[in-house]
A = this chain, B = another copy of it.
Amino acid sequence: MDFNKALDFYKQQRRKIIAQNYVGFVSSWDMETEAKENSILAESEQMAVLSELSYTLTTDPNFEQAVNVLWQNKDKLDEVLCHEVEVLQKDIQETKKIPMEEMSAYSVLSSQAYPIYVRAKTEGNFELFRPYLEKIVEFAKKQVVWLDGELHGYDILLDKYEPHYTQTQYDKFFDVLKQRLVPFVKQVTQQKPIVPAWATASYDVAKQKEFCEYLRDVLCFDKSRGIMKESEHPFTTSFGTEDVRITNHYYENNLVSSIFSVIHETGHALYEQQCDKALNSTLSGGGASLGMHESQSRFYENMIGRSKAFWAVHYGKLQQTFPTLQSVSLDEFVDYINLAERSFVRTEADELTYSLHIMLRYELEKELIEGDLKVCDLPKRWNEKFFDFFGMTPPNDQLGVLQDVHWANGSFGYFPTYALGSAISAQLYHHMQKDFDVEQSLQSGNTKAINEWLKEHVHKFGSSKYPDEILQYAIGEDFDPTYYVDYLINKYTK
């Protein structure tokens, strides 16, 4: 296959892969937000068939050959295509190393494990889920054997979610947290904070929606290229820059939950909407990595959404929407949304304690994949470690080892990207502030200036570069957790 033929074939196959990506996008959206439970059952079978079709597209020997020819001629490719081909080549080689029949068997195991996990969590019964988790961990360990090459062990799994980030990077990161943040958290959270009565009062759900739509507009989500809807758990999904969708969930007795969800998800959405449109016809659109994506959602949620400067402009509107808040001052409100408290559940954790929850999971994953930790000992080990970090013990496994779905999905290596994202957001914030007065820019009533900075420094590249390359381009530095710890200690010392 000569270069031109390879390029033609590549582009033809890429069109098909993009169309299959659209199928994944639209069918998961439908299952999460439209289809009834009975329908989902019938349709999950179709998803299995479609994922086989996707697998076939990626592992097509002609496609592999085309990718190889392009890679051998990389000097003839533009920067975007060159990166894309590099990533794909690695992808194809890795996918091929996993035996097809093992993949199929695992897909079946996965579907079976999920409802068992849900039941086990509901009943707080780890034993119910244990045999499934054992097989899931076993598959993860096999993956590590199949994919052994430049990387080894747990690093192989970490790299799948965050390219170029392995234990060397994460250990350095978490060591800093352990040395400086763990003792600080113990000190700050010694006293249990008092939750004001208004925080758990009743707030009309229709009005919450109205206010969340207002916030979405304040953050300049482009409604002509996306929608906002409801779902059980808030999430963002997209098909290129032209169709970006977010969801929210409203609780009558928890006003701030929907507020911070919409800010968080709009952060993800802006990353997608502000990518260079030219990348829509490539495989280099979307976010550069999970960590990079989380850095954007966390940036809007924490640096903007929890700042006094932001609420100085928008709190009046909130009070207007909910007269209950007329008697709550701006300072009281901002204090409340920045309360720090030790808690058992990651998804309910505040900004200060969040990454400690992640560190716990990271250390357990290392022990599971590379160490001697057995699945049957996992709940005990979870509780021991939890006590080390937080000085308290989960009363049951529902609030402990069973709380997250990630392991039931076999997503080992995913968790650390959450903490990484939070830390990158602080580093970006530091450098953004050197370029312009971020707090003052919020007085305009929207986040245009901030969006523009992030677009030019991060968003526009999509996934056409590795995340560490984007960070170098954006701020001329490698990842450095000091900014994050400084930011947290400074904020919570005040």
Contact = CB atoms under 8 A, between A and B. Distances in A.
Contacts of A42: 239-240, 242-243, 280
Contact of A227 (B34, B43, B50): B34
Nearest to A18: B46
Interface in A322-340: none
A226 interface: yes
Contacts of A23: 23, 27, 46, 50
Interface in A5-52: 15-16, 18-19, 22-23, 26-27, 29-30, 34-39, 41-43, 46, 49-50
Nearest to A27: B26
Contacts of A37: 224
Interface string A46-78: 100110010000000000000000000000000
Interface in A233-261: 239-240, 242-243
Main secondary structure of the interface of A (DSSP, over half): helix
Given A27-B23, A46-B18, A41 B227 contact: no
Given A224-B36, A225-B36, A242 B27 contact: no
Interface string A191-232: 000000000000000000000000000000001111100000
A243 B35 contact: yes
Given A26-B30, A227-B34, A53 B19 contact: yes
Contacts of A35: 227, 243
Contacts of A226: 36, 39
Contacts of A22: 27, 43, 46, 50
A18 B43 CA distance: 10
B46 A242 contact: no
Nearest to A34: B227
Q: Among A15, A26, A38, A53, find the residue whose CB has the most chain B CB atoms closer than 10 A.
A: A26
Contacts of A38: 224-225, 242-243
A223 B35 CA distance: 11
Nearest to A280: B42
Interface residues of A, number: 33
A239 B43 contact: yes
A26 B46 CA distance: 11
A217 to B, nearest CB: 15
A35 B243 CA distance: 7
Interface string A307-324: 000000000000000000
Given A26-B26, A50-B23, A239 B15 contact: no
A224 B15 CA distance: 37
Contact of A242 (B29, B30, B41, B50): B41
Contact of A43 (B30, B36, B50, B243): B243
A451 to B, nearest CB: 19
Nearest to A21: B46
A18 B226 CA distance: 29
A53 B42 CA distance: 22
Given A42-B242, A242-B42, A227 B36 contact: yes
A29 B29 CA distance: 12
A108 B50 CA distance: 26
Nearest to A238: B39
Given A30-B26, A30-B30, A36-B227, A49 B16 contact: yes
A34 B30 CA distance: 10
| 5 smallest beta-carbon distances between A and B, as pairs | A39-B243, A19-B49, A22-B46, A42-B242, A19-B46
19 contacts: A15-B49, A18-B49, A22-B50, A23-B23, A23-B50, A26-B30, A26-B43, A30-B30, A35-B243, A36-B224, A36-B225, A36-B226, A36-B243, A37-B224, A38-B242, A39-B243, A42-B242, A46-B239, A53-B53
Given A39-B226, A42-B243, 11 more contacts: A19-B50, A23-B46, A26-B27, A26-B30, A36-B226, A39-B243, A42-B239, A42-B240, A42-B280, A43-B243, A46-B239
